[in-house]
Structure 1
Amino acid sequence: MNSEKETFQSKNYVSKSLLHRFSQFVGFLLGARFFVAALLTFALYVSTFFLFNQDESFRKFVFDFKVHGIIFCTVLTILAGGIINQFYDLEKDHVVKPFRTRVQSFIKQKYFLYAYLALSAISLGVAWMISHNVFVFFVVYQFFMWFYSHKLSRMLIVNNLTFVSLTLYPFFGMMVYYETFSKKVFLMAVFLFLILLCIDIVKDTLTRSVDKTFGYTTIPNYFKSRNTKLILTSLLMVTMAVSMKLITKTGITGFMAYYFAGGLFIMILCIYLLINDSRRSNFFTLNILRFWVFVGIIAMLLNGIEHKL
């Protein structure tokens, strides 16, 4: 009888231990923004091969270890940036993202900091082995990742512009690496910048009161609802103008042409939702724009495959 009881207690202890370890693992993934990093990695590979790299064959691209090294460094830097950002936003996240912070609580904050230092060091080490220029590129990237979390995320307008710029920074690096400068690439970059800027501002409308409480000066809690709505509507209309320019002036074809044409209707839908000025409509707008960015990556992938065949 005692033997059976001890066996049951042993199994119960093992299951609790495994559950605890799994919770720690999930907490680390959430703290490092792993899923965001995975999406950005996918977007980097798609844009690098199908947009910036116009001449290289797929075989040559696969064995271009310098490019893979740069993307690897980018992923590590994004993971490190996610960790340091959640470290500085911990109090705010307790209110805005209670489930995530509860899962992250299974890991002590000092271990997140150790992971941040390790990921940053490995990224810079690999970058140094690639070239000195790549090393400098990532030193700048990591510095602004930290400085954004430490200071810039609380500054009006600067927070939105810095966040979007840091998101696009790796893509800019690839564009410089392949020396792919054209009107089409420039307009596509402007389009993506505007979409991400709208996403960030709409996201701030959903956390307006919490941001104000914790000292984050954002557009929604500084300019109030009416002016924020006007700013977002103006940005979406400029985005529509960029889409029309891409369709009519750059000779863009295939799935990307359909994507930018469809984007006109998406922008109109978002403007309609923003006019309602409710939390629910803002939530729908945020997720529609996020989804449309993902659709853009898929459209670029399909367009690239069509042209490469």
Structure 2
Amino acid sequence: MRHKPKPTARQIVTGFFRLIRWPNLLILAFTQYLVRFTLIGEESIPWYRLLVERDVFLLALATSCIAAAGYIINDYYDIKIDLINKPEKVIIGRYLKRRWAMGINLFLNFAGIALGWLVDRKVFLLNTLAVFFLWLYSNHLKRLPFWGNLMVSLLTGLSLVVMAVHYHRHETEVYIYALFAFSISLIREIIKDMEDVRGDATFGCQTLPILWGIPRTKYLLYTLIALFVVILFSMTAPLQNQTLRYVFVGLLFPVGYLTYQLYYADTKQDFARLSTLCKIIMLAGVLTMVFV
């Protein structure tokens, strides 16, 4: 019997960074810093002082730790499914032993909760809830129709809500961007389920595309997109901030293009491209904070 060759140190390190999705973590931390500089920012404090502020550093680090732990636990439970949907991207069991993955997951979760305690008690509570719900999502909710999509999207929005909860400045603007992040994340999560329908069906996952089929799931997405647009503009209307309204009008163009492409999407590759487009729209939306 042939034994699998042991992974090299380089393969283990690169595999670990792929496992925790380090580009996503950088974007997450960047977004929280951008919220601090732009939406929450205080004119009396120079920008370079905000750059080294203790609380925003701890918040970003805590959020990154919890998100990294979430990626690990999600991949841990999804090894068999991922071997069908994306075999080339499987890390746990190939480059990183399962027990090591769980040990790192526990350490990162503890670090995220402890760092939240150092910021304030409300952040500690939110971080603790985030850890619990990430575990619940990976272990159970992900395989249920819609609930898994909803949970991971709520946690995406929570990464911005925690900033408003801690700083108590310009909360409405922060909540609007949190809703935007939640909306695009929910749309993307459902599209990812459409992309992964083959592997999910093999292992009994009850996602919307499996239960409803692709056409009916598309109709749900059209409804959600329209609903989110109406809610976002309703939230911006009472604010004396014309720039914010113009920003969301500008974002209607890529969202409209996404809807158009969704109508014609049919293959796994089509849905993969739509998932990437959602990430681009999310990043573009985050960058508009500098104009608000």
Name the TM tier (shorter chain): 0.7 to 0.9
For the pair 1:234 / 2:209, whether they are aligned, the reply is: no
Unaligned runs of 5+ in 1: 1-15, 305-309
Map residues 178-257 of structure 1 onto 2, 5 A cutoff.
Answer: 178-180=167-169, 183-242=172-231, 244-245=233-234, 250-254=239-243, 257=245
How far the C-alpha of 1:54 sits from its partner, in A, is 4.4
CA RMSD of aligned residues (A): 2.6
176-185 or 90-99, larger mean C-alpha shift: 176-185
Q: Report % sequence identity.
A: 24
How far the C-alpha of 1:153 sits from its partner, in A, is 1.1
Residue 38 of structure 2 aligns to a residue in which SS?
Answer: helix
Instruction: Write the distance in 2 (CA, Å) between the matches of 1:212 and 1:29.
Output: 29
- Tell me which amino acid in the other structure corresponds to 1:203: K
Instruction: Write the distance in 1 (CA, Å) between the matches of 2:212 and 2:44.
Output: 48
In 1, are the aligned partners of 2:157 and 2:179 still within 8 Å (CA)? no
Structure having the higher helix fraction is: 1
- Tell me which amino acid in the other structure corresponds to 1:123: G
- Tell me which amino acid in the other structure corresponds to 2:186: L
Instruction: Write the distance in 2 (CA, Å) between the matches of 1:56 and 1:235.
Output: 40
In 2, are the aligned partners of 1:198 and 1:232 still within 8 Å (CA)? yes
How far the C-alpha of 1:189 sits from its partner, in A, is 2.9
129-138 or 202-211, larger mean C-alpha shift: 129-138
1:117 match = 106
CA distance 1:87–1:126, change in 2 (3 Å)? same
- Tell me which amino acid in the other structure corresponds to 1:91: K
How far the C-alpha of 1:269 sits from its partner, in A, is 1.8
After TM superposition, the score normalised by the length of structure 1 is 0.82
171-180 or 189-198, larger mean C-alpha shift: 189-198
189-198 or 81-90, larger mean C-alpha shift: 189-198
How far the C-alpha of 1:53 sits from its partner, in A, is 3.3
CA distance 1:283–1:119, change in 2 (3 Å)? closer
1:66 match = 55
CA distance 1:102–1:118, change in 2 (3 Å)? closer
In 2, are the aligned partners of 1:83 and 1:112 still within 8 Å (CA)? yes
How far the C-alpha of 1:102 sits from its partner, in A, is 5.5
Instruction: Write the distance in 1 (CA, Å) between the matches of 2:172 and 2:120.
Output: 29
Instruction: Write the distance in 2 (CA, Å) between the matches of 1:102 and 1:81.
Output: 15
1:82 match = 71
CA distance 1:131–1:266, change in 2 (3 Å)? closer
After TM superposition, the score normalised by the length of structure 2 is 0.87
Map residues 7-86 of structure 1 onto 2, 5 A cutoff.
Answer: 20-55=8-43, 57=45, 58-86=47-75
